[in-house]
Amino acid sequence: MFDVEPIIADHKDVIHDVVFDYYGRRMATCSSDQTVKIWDEDAQGKWSVTSSWKAHSGSIWRVSWAHPEFGQVVATCSFDRTASVWEEVIGEKVSTTNTPTRRWVRRTTLVDSRTSVTDVEFAPKYLGLLLATASADGIIRIYEAPDIMNLSQWPVQHEIANKLPLSCLSWNTSTYMVTQLLAAGSDDSATPTGKVFLFAYSDNARKCVKIDTVNDITDPVTDVAFAPNAGRTFHMLAVASKDLYIVNLRGVTDSTGTTKLDIQTVKFSDHNCPVWRVCWNMLATMLISTGDDGCVRLWRMNYNKQWRCAAVLKAEGGGPTYEPAPPTPTLAATASATAKFYKKGTIGNQVPWH
């Protein structure tokens, strides 16, 4: 069952992003009112604002949490053409009964982009403290903090140029097949070409390069999200566009021994409207999508390994509605379909019945 509980965010304009931290006990929101709010959950499961500050001079599009191993660190990106890194600092206790004061300090401002910075995301922990940004000028920039104790220095490690403007990006958390795999989407509507691009680190070129394009998705893309890898031998990428897409990426080795990506795309039109955001749960057993229909849809994989909408959460405080599940075969039906019978012998008339 799903319980819908509205939260009064007290933002003065449209909220563009809501992101939980690694443990799911803290939440960050950003808005066109140029502010960022940090929320904490209490023992009763209630959320309250513990920090709020003006972070940019334009609309803030995205916010991202770093892994807690690097401290309480968030990154934001904005229409003002910058991205910023913020760190929570704990002050001294005023008295033994009071809790220490907390405040968020801007550690650096990244000003390399000449256009709006549309997305920002920290890399998986195994790559270190890396930060990727996507811009409307079509450039992905990957920054690295060489000293995690000094977050004021973020030199650019890679710059990847694209012909189309970029609207979103997502890191792959798995090391299987390809290292530093990154996906980006474009919201360009003038060019009828593929709008999802895949990048990876090349040992030969010693830089990140584009390795493939998902040509099946030609509509503007608003969000992409790699699924966490829970032992699969392939990658899953959720894409929000005119419809919802799930892209499966498998490694295929050709006759020359070169490994290439086999891309399979599945389309879902249940929203019947543009899809805005997608995200996965920790084990990638559930996918969540939101759209212009004002609904949050929860997707699960059935016994046939097909993704189906399992529930719909409606806005305005409406309760969840559950999609009818396909009939599951009974044990008797399954046994009759798979059982085999073998002749073991013959019962003659001379054998008495008991």
> What is the chain's pLDDT, residue by residue, as a tens digit (354 residues)?
667 778 888 899 999 999 999 999 999 999 999 999 999 999 888 899 999 999 999 999 999 999 999 999 999 999 999 999 999 998 765 555 566 778 999 999 999 999 999 999 999 998 999 999 999 999 999 999 999 899 999 999 999 999 999 999 999 988 777 778 899 999 999 888 999 999 988 877 788 888 889 999 999 999 999 999 878 888 999 999 999 999 999 877 776 766 788 899 999 998 889 999 999 998 899 999 999 888 899 999 888 889 999 999 886 655 555 554 444 445 454 444 455 655 666 655 554 544
For residues 158, 163, 168, 174, the Cα torsion angle rounded to the nearest 10 degrees is -50
CB 237 within 8 A of CB 246: yes
The partner residues of 176 in beta bridges, in order of sequence, read: none
Contacts of 140 (CB under 8 A, 6+ apart): 132, 133, 134, 158, 159, 160, 162, 166, 169, 182, 184, 199, 208
Local structure of residue 230 (DSSP, 8 states): S
The partner residues of 223 in beta bridges, in order of sequence, read: 240
Nearest Cα to Cα of residue 66 among 155, 144, 182, 4: 144
If residue 331 lies in a helix (H) or strand (E), which one and from where to where? Answer: helix 331-338
